[in-house]
Amino acid sequence: MSTEPYPYDRRHLTRYSFVSKGKRGAIVKIVEFSPTSNKQIINMGFGDLMPDGSIDDESNSNNNDLVKVMATMISIIKDFTNQYPSYKIVFTGSSQKRNILYQRILRNYYIEFSRDFTITALEPTANGHYQEVPFDMENKNYYAFFIKRK
Amino acid sequence: MAQLKVDTGKTKSKTERTVIVTKSKEPVKSTLFAKKIKKVNALLSNASLLQS
């Protein structure tokens, strides 16, 4: 990805922020890595910082800077996994519609992502459970995505 | 949480004013994405994962 990422701030070991600047103005983005019930898996949360200090992870910013935001996300994930390379990172959308959007982004940036990361995803099984499978660009029914530093 | 301590310099000369910024290197104690983590934990508890 040739686009320069936004500069980001790491206030804690696990929380990053940066400012998206586009047609809708400046929007503060927060990326947070948090433990899950599985000790080897870290959740990556991503959303817009609201004026009241809360996070909106369902918004569509439409700030016309998706490529730059993605470059920044990759940069942040690399920074985090430089410190914690053994962890697998999971992220999921707030809805299946959002998961389809995430899949489209992963597909579009697959070459860049797969250079440094192994990408897998969670798909439903026939018996109502889920299984982790290698990321398939054609599958549209993923419930979560995993990335792990190679 | 970053702490910003500003000496207004009211009792000092202008050249003695200081700004001290301390950045915590500790992990955050609470998450901003509790709802999402609950969802992820539910998915993981019901999933077969690949060996890393």
ipTM: 0.86
Q: CA-CA distance, A77 to A88, in Å (whole number)? A: 11
Give the global pTM.
0.80
What are A115-146's pLDDT values in tens digits?
A: 999 999 999 999 989 999 999 988 778 999 99
Q: What is the pLDDT of residue B32?
A: 76
Cβ within 8 Å, pair B52-A37 = no
Q: For residue A148, give the nearest of A38, A19, A58 by alpha carbon.
A: A38
Tokens at A139, concatenated? 């599958």
pLDDT of residue A140: 74
In the structure encoding, which two tokens stand for residue A108, read together? Answer: 């579009």
Question: A34 to chain B: nearest residue by CA?
Answer: B31
pLDDT of residue A7: 96
* DSSP per residue, chain A: --SPPPPEEESSSSEEEEEEEETTEEEEEEEEEEE-SSTTEEEEEEEEEPTTS-EESS-----S-HHHHHHHHHHHHHHHHHH-TTPEEEE--SSHHHHHHHHHHHHHTHHHHHHHEEEEEEEE-TTS-EEEEE--TT----SEEEEEE-
Q: Give CA separation, A32 vs A9, A49, B15, in Å.
A: 12, 12, 39
For residue A50, report the phi and psi dihedrals to the nearest 5 degrees: -90, 160
Do B47 and A120 make contact, defined as CB atoms within 8 angstroms? no
* pLDDT value at residue B24: 53
- Residues of chain A with Cβ-Cβ distance to B31 below 8 Å are 32, 34, 45
Considering only residues 84 to 123 of chain A, which have any Cβ-Cβ distance to chain B shorter than 8 Å? 88, 90, 92, 94, 120, 122
pLDDT for A49-70, tens place per residue? 988 888 888 877 788 898 899 8
Identify the segments of chain B with pLDDT beneath 70.
1-30, 52
